[in-house]
A and B are shown apart, each in its own frame.
Chain A
Amino acid sequence: MDEPDTEPPLVVVPGADPSARQLCFAWGPAEVLVCETLFDRAGTGHGAPSSSQVFVVRRDQDIYIQTLRKLFNESHGIFMGLQRSEEELAGKSRKAQLVQVSKNYRSVIRACMEDMHEAAVATRDPALQGQYSTQVSILSAMELIWNLCEILFVEAATAGPLLLRLLDWVRLHVCDVDSMVREVLSSESPSKHKLFWNVVDVFVLQGRMDEARHLLSKEASANPTSMNMYKILDDLMKKMPVPSVGNTQTLTELELKWQHWHEECQRYLQDGTFASNPHMESICKILLGDEDAILEKKELMTTWYHFLVTRLLYSHPTVKPMELRFYAQSSMDLFLGGESSPEPLDLILMAAFEFEIHQVIKECSIVLSNWWFVAHLTDLLDHCKLLQSHNLYFGSNMREFLLLEYASGLFSHHSLWQLGVDYFDHCPEYGRVYLELHIERIPLSTEQKALKVLRICEQRQMHEQVRSICKIMAMKALRNNRLGSALSWSIRAKDAAFATLISDRFLKDYCERGCFSDLDLIDNLGPSMLLSDRLTFLGKYREFHRLYGEKRFPEAARLLLTLMTAHIAPCSFWMTLLTDALPLLEQKEVIFSAEQTYELMRCLEDLTAGNPDKQKFQDDDVETTKVEMLRLALARNLARVIVKEGTVEGS
């Protein structure tokens, strides 16, 4: 197993005091429960009773930021789109598609950043404002890294276009100077402004030649004396060969042209054309790629990667992807100049320039306070087929590991859990297991929520979870005395045991009250009646009552007898059934045939024989009277039926 690369960060739990007593903890899916123990620091004696607090420590804090929910939801849509688009296209169009996906992700980050920025401006609470600003800078760093990864890995720009992309990247992200540019441009006469040359330098450093020339022309018209000098510089800037995206020229052509132009610049610098104007001389030096001249403008570039791109633009425009690492390393060293050590962001970008994709993802995982970024970036890179060779010593692969972490975070959130489901779906190896474990822990506050969770499980054939959810809901309904609902839930889960339990409750209620509740349900059981024996009995018994109510006595009698002889009715219920037979026996016309009467008698004898008079001493009198009444009724019925059948057969 690898050693951890960095010391694990120290998390201070506010309120807990590890110096006084030992802490204990328990892992949860995305959280840790921490509480103080009775043991003091030495671990020997028992101190005073500890505080009765339990702390919940969360890893993925960003999940709980309200504004970021937009990021999670919108990127979920993009993620799903990417999984769906699987491999349909090949070659170039596939790459274009992936780049588009990457851009979509970035635009979501940007939109979120703007929202956060607005929120920061709108709020009056300084603490909140600080929090928002921190988030804005984190988001902007994420976008910066993502954009670089997009250029280097997703698009995999080749020599030539690579530099153009990097220039765009710098222009998009180095916005510290934008306000200065705006200030100068909006002033009455820009050329008189004290920051005029700074702005021109900014344009040159960012390779924005047209804008620089436009500004210079203004200055030139104000200084007719040095017109010639301006013209030469303008001409140089105009002629500067740049790689074109259209690919009409080969790299060699470009290099030749560039070499030629470079020599021309060199000539003008050496013959002192610009000697009279230090500003213009320094611009010319920059055009020549003079490192010292460029480094002098450190303040205008603000970052080492700006320096890197500027340096490449003027000294090595046809840089190949693989050469980037050397320039990057030396640029960082030159720029920082040993004064300050590189920050995490610098290291991440450096790793990207070195094409160490895993290093980029690792550093990001350590530095960023959310899994969103690494999970989505890794997934995208995986779709670019850049990560296949890498296997972790735990879990399956990096993409899946990170997606699982992210989705687990979502599941720990009270509301975002629905998003997590789709992420688990796209983790082939462990996604299912994770989902099974997480989904069971979703609190089911309303039936509607339960239905949503149930739908998720049913779609994925997670029978065990379906059963458990239905059981929870059935149990809840039962506790609330909602027998009808409880039965519906257990029918949905096909849970025979529970259906039996509820049927018994129904029958008990009937015995106590003499009438059925929830008739609308019991009358409409349909085929689900066959789920459990007891439920069948309940349905059939209710049918008996209906037949009886409709005065269809012979049918009712037949059904009643079948319930006993076919052993559908539980033995404990036989007495009730026999009592129900009493009024049928007492009807004016004969209903039970001789054979049926014998059956009834046998049932009664079975019951009394199998149930010796041990129990129910108080009820003894009632019971014996009942039995005797039944016997009497049966005997009389038998007499009548013998006479009747005899006469019918005799005639």
Chain B
Amino acid sequence: MEDVSAKFVSQKISRTRWRPLPAAALQPPDLFATGSWDNEDNRVSIWSAGDLGNAGLNGEYHGEPHLLCDIQHNGDVMDMQFLDQERIVVASSTGTVTIFRHHQNNQTLSANHRWEKAHYHVDQDTSCGGAACTGVVCNNPEIVTVGEDGRINLFRADQRDAVRTIDNADSSTLHAVTFLRTTEILTVNSIGQLKIWDLRQQRNEPSQIFSLAGDRVPLHCVDRHPNQQHIVATGGQDGMLSIWDIRQGTMPVSLLNAHEAEMWEVHFHPSDPDHLFTCSEDGSLWHWDTSTNVSEKPSFLHQGGRSTAYLSHSTINQSVVSAWLSNDPTKDRMEITNLIPNQTLSVNSLDVLGPCLVYGTDAEAIYVNRQLFA
């Protein structure tokens, strides 16, 4: 596919994130950050998506991503997110949470603030070992982190100490976290549970627990529908995509068979939430499209080399019309496209913004697709 540019970067990529666009921006995103894992010396890097100077009239970009700056990072980058235009919060396998600042005038990165051992184990010898921080989510200035120690931390970007810490929030490993509303967060853990936490309450208990029936398949990622906050998507160890309606029930509304191995990330498209993207250990990246009204809309995804499948899914009758929950017969089909044929190694991370997709793999390559809806 000629609209995808790739670059081999000599480090396994664990996270890729677009820099958020300023509110009024019309251009597609141009900068993204990556984090590496499993290296002797891991790095956080800022990349330019392509050669902006050569942008043609049609908004076509040429050239592969190129490195603007990078900085050494202690431990694997487990998760990261932009706090604002300049600052990135990075979660480390050492349990440290760091805010890096990207100085755009001289293209350098520097550590802005660091919470050492935000996540830690209290082991039997009373010496504190760091525990991997597995997930981070920001809602400037608030930062929430979760970790293998089952702890939830709430930080504020400008404060030295944690605002709130819930020790032993979960008896198993927390894998990911996201904001539900400004005061509520969602976490997923390694025994197949989705929990809602209300940070206003002083009780150290989740306000609601949802769980997968039966096999307790670990959940690895979670994302919330950008407009309809009751719709939540999670991805599990068996590659299954679950859609939850958190207003009712304690079980997922629909379970969609997806990847063959761990689903590492799931993202609703931020401005076009009929589209969803998932990536997996099996080396595939799927585009789920519920916007297609199969009969009328010409399918732009039927391109050579891509495998397209229709999946029919039954859902519970909903009063609110949402493509993800409804069982309206015309929308009862979902178009699913694998964007990476023949990849063998894990796709660890993806991010979508506007018409652009960026993803990183264990094959030490980053890929940028600038015309997702071409």
Contacts and interface: CB of A to CB of B under 8 A. Distances in A.
B121 interface: yes
A414 B78 contact: no
Interface residues of A, number: 42
A485 B8 contact: no
Nearest to A108: B8
Residue among B12, B218, B345 facing the most chain A CB atoms (10 A cut-off): B345
A446 B173 CA distance: 11
Contacts of B39: 414-415
Contact of B211 (A67, A449, A524): A524
Most buried by A among B39, B132, B191, B342: B191
B365 interface: yes
B274 interface: no
A80 B344 contact: yes
Interface stretch (A70-78, A312-320, A428-436, A575-583): A70-78
A480 B132 CA distance: 12
Interface string A52-80: 00000000000000110110011011001
- Which of A73, A481, A519, A520 lies at the interface centre, i.e. has the most chain B CB atoms within 10 A of its CB? A520
A415 B148 contact: no
A124 interface: no
Contacts of B134: 447-448
Contacts of A69: 8, 10-11, 364
Contacts of B76: 445-446, 448-449
Interface in B122-174: 122-124, 129, 131-132, 134, 148-150, 168, 170-173
Given A445-B76, A518-B171, A455 B281 contact: yes
B132 A448 contact: yes
B121 A481 contact: yes
Contact of A449 (B38, B123, B150, B173): B38
Given A481-B122, A520-B193, A446 B132 contact: yes
B216 interface: yes
Task: Tell me if B's interface is mostly helix, strand, loop or mixed.
Answer: loop
A482 B150 contact: yes
B191 A479 contact: no
Contacts of B216: 524, 526, 528
B16 interface: no
B211 A70 contact: no
Contacts of A13: none
Given A67-B10, A524-B216, A480 B121 contact: yes
Contacts of B93: 445-446
Given A67-B10, A77-B344, A524 B193 contact: yes
A482 B193 CA distance: 17
A520 B364 contact: no
Interface string A469-507: 000000000011111110010000000000000000000
B149 A480 contact: yes
B209 interface: yes
Interface in A404-452: 414-415, 418-419, 422, 445-449, 451-452
A482 B364 contact: no
Nearest to B36: A415
A517 interface: yes
A272 interface: no
A484 B344 contact: no
A419 B346 CA distance: 11
A521 interface: yes
A110 B134 CA distance: 39
A415 B171 contact: no
B69 to A, nearest CB: 15
Contacts of A49: none
Contacts of A519: 171
B363 A485 contact: no
B344 A527 contact: no
Contact of B78 (A81, A446, A527, A528): A446
Interface of B: 8, 10-12, 37-40, 76, 78, 93, 121-124, 129, 131-132, 134, 148-150, 168, 170-173, 190-193, 209, 211, 214-216, 218, 237, 261-262, 281, 342, 344-346, 362-365
List 5 A-B pairs, minimum CB-CB distance, nearest first: A484-B171, A518-B171, A480-B121, A70-B8, A69-B10
